């Protein structure tokens, strides 16, 4: 489709006396919602001032002057638009090139993107609130990777801070190595909650915790060993969830990794005259930028999140020489990132502009906000297990002869959770509902995967058509449903580019939903398996192209491709 746009732009450019260049013409082109208005249209409103004529008059003139390239059957002018109608041969040629992706996969050649996502605080179980950063981050990792970038997926574990002082104190008072090894993260959560409750009655416990963390930072051997065991137990727990989601990371360098690198950051800030003392704490004053000060050191000299994030950013720039470093976290952390991004800029680093915060909305369950204080916490592993269990029951009802019901249920159940998290614009709040997420109809993951499986079924039944013969459709004239689907498939590369530019996976989910809808419309209106000659060849090729594009979308979203449901 991009090649056709270039051809049409060149034709239009000949008759507008340089008022717009070819790239500007291409960017203005639209796809009419109604096929009666052509396949591609060019709006003339930007030309009205230059030509001192109405857009309708300009469109009328252009429609009469513009030469028709071989791909265009006719041209018309309607309400200020020049509408171009493709030939039937053009559609068969478009279909032949649908699955080519060489241009988009070269976009990021030679460039590195760091994506910091998921990054849970250790010693706590994964809950539904973590799903946004984990699933959005993984999808962005897939999208940038598809576009040719070298992607470094970083799990910046929350494994440092005063909360570990609390945990160490709680462990020494109320737990043991045996209990932690037996009950894992559940035991760590129990003693942490107990500590916070006891500290409400005994304030001195909080000072004990601060002292313990200070000792941890100084390298206390006993405390380091206790902390290390907490980290290992937590990672073991998290890997079960990551394996189910089929998500991997290139680095688990959490906050603790930068402990020995933070003193240099503090000294650099001091040397550059950025540090100020405020009530005993070391801060960077950001009042000139309408932001609160960025806290670098507490009164006791212990570090905070900005200190660690700045140290991590400096190390990543040296280690990976990133083109961009993307941080996928909740919108509630936007101020934090704005503050320390500004500090990096004030330190004189030009690459501060390459630090990107990708915020997302909150997650609720059946309309209720998640909150530990009210007990409304949904653990992610429990959610995924239930999703798989519910999907298996639905599949059992729909297809009793399916061989690998459990494997398919994992794909569909997990896919339902993933799609639900990526369906809306990431900044919007998401509500998870079983009835909605696991439905095989409507805007859901199961609907998408079922449609993909439908295309696989068609192709299995048309195995007699070889790959070499499938492209020989002669001068077949597609019907309206086929034309709409072909055009939709040609939009894939542009959608990927848009999703990458905006760090917005929902561009892919919405596109995939629309594409599945058009495929199902084509499937129900057009005979495929029992068609004959070039009609069957074209329709099988169209089904095959849909399978390829839909499969790529599923890959980008982090969902399994289901050959059969």
Dist CA 550 CA 562 (whole Å): 11
- DSSP string of 69-87, one letter each residue: -TTEEEEEEETTEEEEEE-
Are 548 and 99 within 8 A, CB to CB?
A: yes
Three-state SS at 2: helix
| Phi, psi values for residue 18, rounded to 5° | 75, 10
What's the Cα-to-Cα distance from 408 to each of 215, 393, 397, rounded to whole Å? 50, 11, 13
Nearest to 416 by CA among 427, 432, 395: 432
Q: Looking at the 3D structure of the chain, how many domains does it have?
A: 3
What's the pLDDT at 467? Answer: 53
User: CB under 8 Å to 254, separation ≥6 — which residues?
Assistant: 119, 122, 155, 156, 157, 158, 159, 160, 231
Same domain (yes/no): 169, 296: yes
Domain end among 302, 335, 360: 360
Three-state SS at 360: strand
What's the pLDDT at 65? Answer: 83
Same domain (yes/no): 443, 501: yes
- The CATH number linked to 78 is 3.30.1360.70
Which regions in the chain score pLDDT beneath 50? 372-375, 468
- Token pair 């984990």 in the structure block, residue: 134
23 CB neighbour count, 10 Å cutoff: 11
Same domain (yes/no): 70, 200: no
User: CB under 8 Å to 114, separation ≥6 — which residues?
Assistant: 151, 152, 154, 316, 320, 322, 324, 325, 326
Three-state SS at 40: strand
What's the pLDDT at 473? Answer: 72
Same domain (yes/no): 134, 67: no
Same domain (yes/no): 16, 75: yes
Dist CA 113 CA 503 (whole Å): 12
Is 140 within a domain? yes
What's the pLDDT at 374? Answer: 44
436 CB neighbour count, 10 Å cutoff: 15
Chain-centre distance for alpha carbon 149: 15
- DSSP string of 407-445, one letter each residue: HHHHHHHHHHHHHHHHSS-TTS-EEE-HHHHT-SSSSSH
Domain end among 360, 391, 410: 360
Dist CA 557 CA 565 (whole Å): 19
Write down the number of H helices and E strands in the chain. 22, 13
Chain-centre distance for alpha carbon 242: 16
Is 369 within a domain? no
What's the pLDDT at 474? Answer: 66
Same domain (yes/no): 337, 461: no
Tokens at 43, concatenated: 């709006």
Query: Which residues on neighbouring strands pair with residue 369, listed in sequence order?
Result: 364
What's the Cα-to-Cα distance from 102 to each of 118, 144, 376, 404, rounded to whole Å? 31, 14, 48, 35
Same domain (yes/no): 30, 129: no
- DSSP string of 122-172, one letter each residue: TTS--BGGGHHHHHHHHHHHHHHHHTT-EEEEE---B--SHHHHHHHHHHH
Are 552 and 492 within 8 A, CB to CB?
A: yes
Dist CA 255 CA 253 (whole Å): 7
Is 209 within a domain? yes
Question: What is the radius of gyration, based on Cα positions, of the chain?
Answer: 28
Task: Find the angle CA(394)-CA(400)-CA(405) to the nearest 5 degrees.
Answer: 65
End-to-end CA distance of the chain: give it in Å, rounded. Answer: 33
Q: Pairing mode, if any, of strands 112-116 and 150-154?
A: parallel
- The CATH number linked to 254 is 3.40.50.620
Same domain (yes/no): 159, 275: yes
Same domain (yes/no): 431, 475: yes
Same domain (yes/no): 338, 470: no
Same domain (yes/no): 70, 214: no
Same domain (yes/no): 286, 420: no
Is 210 within a domain? yes
255 CB neighbour count, 10 Å cutoff: 23
Tokens at 394, concatenated: 């639905």
- Supply the range of the domain harboring residue 54: 2-86
Dist CA 429 CA 359 (whole Å): 11
Is 393 within a domain? no
Is 373 within a domain? no
Q: How many residues does the chain have?
A: 565
- The CATH number linked to 450 is 1.10.730.10
Is 46 within a domain? yes
Are 529 and 458 within 8 A, CB to CB?
A: yes
pTM for the structure as a whole: 0.90
Nearest to 434 by CA among 458, 453, 416, 456: 416
- DSSP string of 523-556, one letter each residue: HHHS--TT--HHHHHHHHHHHHHHHHHHHHHHHH
Is 565 within a domain? no
């Amino acid at each position: 489709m991009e090649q056709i746009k270039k051809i049409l732009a060149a034709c239009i450019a000949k008759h507008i006396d340089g008022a717009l260049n070819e790239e500007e013409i291409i960017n203005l082109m639209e796809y009419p919602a109604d096929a009666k208005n052509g396949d591609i249209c060019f709006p003339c409103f930007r030309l009205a001032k230059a030509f001192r004529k109405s857009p309708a008059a300009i469109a009328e003139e252009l429609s009469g002057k513009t030469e028709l390239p071989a791909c265009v059957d006719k041209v018309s002018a309607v309400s200020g638009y020049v509408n171009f109608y493709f030939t039937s041969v053009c559609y068969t040629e478009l279909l032949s090139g649908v699955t080519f992706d060489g241009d988009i996969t070269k976009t990021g050649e030679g460039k590195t993107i760091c994506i910091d996502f998921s990054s849970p605080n250790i010693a706590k179980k994964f809950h539904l609130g973590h799903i946004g950063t984990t699933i959005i981050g993984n999808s962005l990792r897939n999208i940038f990777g598809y576009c040719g970038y070298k992607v470094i997926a970083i799990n910046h574990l929350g494994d440092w801070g005063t909360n570990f002082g609390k945990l160490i104190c709680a462990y020494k008072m109320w737990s043991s190595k045996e209990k932690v090894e037996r009950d894992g993260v559940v035991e760590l959560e129990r003693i942490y909650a107990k500590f916070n409750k006891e500290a409400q009655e005994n304030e001195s416990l909080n000072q004990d915790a601060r002292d313990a963390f200070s000792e941890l930072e100084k390298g206390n051997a006993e405390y380091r060993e206790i902390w290390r065991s907490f980290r290992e137990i937590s990672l073991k727990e998290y890997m079960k969830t990551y394996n189910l989601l089929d998500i991997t990371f290139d680095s688990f360098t959490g906050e603790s990794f930068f402990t020995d690198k933070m003193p240099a950051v503090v000294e650099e800030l001091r040397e550059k005259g950025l540090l100020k003392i405020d009530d005993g704490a070391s801060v960077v004053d950001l009042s000139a930028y309408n932001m609160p000060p960025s806290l670098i050191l507490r009164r006791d000299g212990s570090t905070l999140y900005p200190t660690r994030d700045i140290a991590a950013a400096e190390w990543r720039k040296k280690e990976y020489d990133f083109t961009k470093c993307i941080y996928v976290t909740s919108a509630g952390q936007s101020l934090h990132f704005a503050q320390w991004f500004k500090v990096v800029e004030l330190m004189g680093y030009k690459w501060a502009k390459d630090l990107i915060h990708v915020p997302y909305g909150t997650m609720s369950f059946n309309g209720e906000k998640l909150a530990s204080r009210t007990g409304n916490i949904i653990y992610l592993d429990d959610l995924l297990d239930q999703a798989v269990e519910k999907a298996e029951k639905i599949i059992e009802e729909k297809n009793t002869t399916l061989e690998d019901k459990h494997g398919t249920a994992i794909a569909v159940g997990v896919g339902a959770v993933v799609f639900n998290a990526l369906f809306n614009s990431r900044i919007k709040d998401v509500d998870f509902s079983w009835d909605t997420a696991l439905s095989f109809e409507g805007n859901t993951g199961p609907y998408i995967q079922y449609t993909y499986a439908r295309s696989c079924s068609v192709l299995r039944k048309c195995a007699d058509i070889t790959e070499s013969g499938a492209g020989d459709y002669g001068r077949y004239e597609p019907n309206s449903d086929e034309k709409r689907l072909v055009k939709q498939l040609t939009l894939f590369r542009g959608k990927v580019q848009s999703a990458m530019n905006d760090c917005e996976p929902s561009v892919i989910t919405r596109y995939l939903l629309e594409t599945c809808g058009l495929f199902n419309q084509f499937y129900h209106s057009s005979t495929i398996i029992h068609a004959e000659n070039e009609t069957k060849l074209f329709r099988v090729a169209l089904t095959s192209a849909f399978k390829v594009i839909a499969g790529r979308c599923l890959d980008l979203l982090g969902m399994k491709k289901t050959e059969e449901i």
